[in-house]
Amino acid sequence: MPISSQSTTQHLIRVVLEKPSEGTWRRSGRTFLGVAFPQPEFWPSDAIGVPISCTFYDFPSCGRLFGGDEIRAVGGEPIATTKDLVFHWDRAPPGRLSFDVLRQETHRLLVGPAALLQIEITWMDRATSPSPLVASTRGTEELLRKLQQPAFLEAGDLVLRIGATPVGTSEEAAAALRQATAAGETVEISLRRGWPEPIHGEKPPHWIWQCFGSPTTVAVPKAKRRKELKKRGEQSGGAMLADLAPRLVEDTQDEPQVPV
């Protein structure tokens, strides 16, 4: 097995968001999550949950969810459409709320015990992001050659799994690495490299955002719970086109690229 390889494996990871009692962006008593959804033509055909295209700074999702994530459950409740996502987020009280997300692995490393012991990893400041994001390492080319370690973590990597353990926070990642180091083991590390950073939003009149250069209405009406959630086995290529986004105004066309 190669020491370093590219991969398309996906990992189901639990992350925790803090829902504030009051938010920077509020309307009609609602707190927005701060995510946008792909246009219909970019919705993955095999999606079971809800994929997101980007997140936004200063929202609860910032530093915890990432563009490309597919949200499978909110607070332990499976979701299949954006309406489900809005419903469970809206009804949750302020405080900690778990999200189960599917993340795409782009690289996989085999890291030997000597590299684990000698190469120090600095994680992103938890005030910025509690996710297992690598801020920096001491893995210089000279040191890697000395340790016979062809590749190592790089600044900006989002760690997904260490050995058999999926990790959703830097604390979980650090604990898993300490355990592998203490055991003197070679460990397999799955990561996502090149994830999209959150987007800066503006607040012009009428609650319009500039998103990807085109304005998108941010005021999403409160979703109503569907009478019956389809079983996952009944999903045909993910959500139906009509379910891709909550309606902005009654009896109008759906707008899929909506920060929620």
- Give per-residue pLDDT as tens, 139-164: 999 999 999 999 999 999 999 999 99
Residues 6+ apart with CB under 8 A from 112: 147, 148, 149, 186
pLDDT at 40: 77
CA distance 59 to 94: 14
CA atoms within 13 A on the CB side of 29: 4
- Segment 167-212, tens digit of pLDDT: 999 999 999 999 999 999 999 999 999 998 999 865 433 333 333 3
- Segment 50-66, tens digit of pLDDT: 999 999 998 999 999 99
Give the E-state strand segments of 86-152 in sequence order. 95-104, 107-111, 121-123, 134-137
Residue range(s) occupied by CATH 2.30.42.10 in the chain: 10-104+211-243, 107-192
- List the structure tokens of 238: 């993910």
- pTM comes to 0.75
In CATH terms, 10-104+211-243 corresponds, of 2.30.42.10, 1.20.1050.10, 2.40.70.10, 1.20.1250.20, to: 2.30.42.10
Burial environment of residue 57 by CB neighbours within 10 A (0 to 12, 13 to 18, 19 or more): middle
* Domain made up of 107-192: CATH architecture: Roll (2.30)
